């Protein structure tokens, strides 16, 4: 990165990025843990995930305040301005992803345990794809990589089709066995939360592309 004449300006932009990455990693852990508790139900863990969402929310506020001060102090232009704009946008997206992870944990608190006759791990598989693609989006931001950012929307197409399959599979299961309707419904809600995380990961990658290329792609 070409350095600013005022070195504290670079410090500010680096701090902003570091705060965002800290938030991003925390959100990644939240998604990962939320997916784990869908497989091995752990109510204590689910409660912990819900509680950790507060930390993510407060990080968003912190980033917003820091970005606002940086805008005021530096009156940035061009790539500097884009860096700050995307920090504001991405922090808000991360906050929403955090909410989706907390929602997954909330669903788990409803179901208490996996019924014996529920014999699929398709939600877990969907979750694996989602967390992997989220990590890619975060890496593209970390490394300012257009190449990585471009892969994320493509992967999201796969996620959407796996989600559709998951949905149909659960409908089928519920029709076959009324006993698992309650559990499967919660699982479908979880699948929807995961699908949304997939969409939001795609939005992050597009913000990264905007930062690098200066063009908004949708």
Partner 1 sequence: MVMSNSIKIKSKKISVFYGDKKALDSINLEIPEKKVTSLIGPSGCGKSTFLRCLNRMNDTIDICRIEGKILIDEKNIYEKGLDPVLLRARIGMVFQKPNPFPKSIFDNVAYGPKIHGIVNSEDELNDLVKDSLKKAGLYNEVKDRLDEPGTSLSGGQQQRLCIARAIAVSPEVILMDEPCSALDPIATAIIEELIDELAKNFTIVIVTHSMQQAARVSQQTAFFHMGNLIEVGKTEEIFSMPKQVKTQDYITGKIG
Which residues contact partner 1 (rule: CB under 8 A)?
2-6, 9, 75-82, 214-215
Minimum Å gap between C-beta 70 and partner 1 is 13
Question: Residue 137 in contact with residue 199, Cβ under 8 Å?
Answer: no
Minimum Å gap between C-beta 16 and partner 1 is 15
> CA–CA separation, 123 vs 42, rounded Å?
16
Q: Which is nearer to partner 1, 1 or 175 (CB)?
A: 1
Please give the structure tokens belonging to residue 111.
């179901």
Selection from 23, 202, 214, 27 nearest residue 104 by Cα: 27
How far does the chain reach from its first CA to its final CA, in angstroms?
27
Minimum Å gap between C-beta 88 and partner 1 is 16
> CA–CA separation, 106 vs 168, rounded Å?
23
Q: Within 13 A of 67's CA, how many CA atoms are on the CB side?
A: 23
Please give the structure tokens belonging to residue 214.
């200066």
Minimum Å gap between C-beta 85 and partner 1 is 10
Minimum Å gap between C-beta 214 and partner 1 is 4
Q: Which is nearer to partner 1, 9 or 189 (CB)?
A: 9
Work out the burial of residue 4: count CB atoms within 10 Å of its CB; fewer than 13 is exposed, 13-18 middle, 19 or more buried: middle
Q: Which is nearer to partner 1, 29 or 74 (CB)?
A: 74
> CA–CA separation, 155 vs 52, rounded Å?
28
Q: Which is nearer to partner 1, 69 or 119 (CB)?
A: 69
Selection from 18, 193, 28, 13 nearest residue 107 by Cα: 193
Minimum Å gap between C-beta 87 and partner 1 is 16
């Amino acid at each position: 990165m070409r350095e600013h004449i005022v070195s504290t300006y670079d410090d500010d932009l680096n701090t902003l990025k570091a705060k965002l990455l800290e938030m991003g990693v925390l959100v990644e852990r939240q998604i990962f843990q939320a997916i784990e508790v869908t497989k091995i139900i752990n109510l204590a863990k689910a409660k912990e995930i819900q509680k950790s969402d507060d930390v993510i929310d407060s990080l968003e506020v912190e980033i917003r305040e820091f970005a606002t001060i940086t805008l005021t102090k530096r009156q940035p232009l061009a790539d500097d301005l884009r860096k700050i704009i995307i920090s504001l946008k991405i922090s808000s997206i991360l906050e929403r992803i955090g909410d989706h992870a907390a929602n997954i944990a909330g669903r788990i608190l409803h179901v208490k345990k996996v019924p014996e006759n529920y014999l699929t791990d398709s939600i877990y598989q969907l979750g694996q794809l989602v967390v992997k693609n989220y990590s890619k989006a975060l890496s593209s931001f970390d490394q300012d990589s257009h190449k990585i950012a471009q892969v994320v929307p493509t992967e999201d197409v796969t996620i959407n089709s796996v989600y559709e399959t998951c949905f149909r599979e659960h409908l089928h299961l519920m029709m076959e066995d009324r006993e698992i309707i309650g559990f499967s419904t919660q699982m479908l809600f979880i699948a929807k939360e995961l699908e949304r995380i997939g969409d939001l990961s795609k939005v992050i990658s597009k913000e990264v592309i905007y930062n690098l290329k200066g063009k908004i792609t949708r």
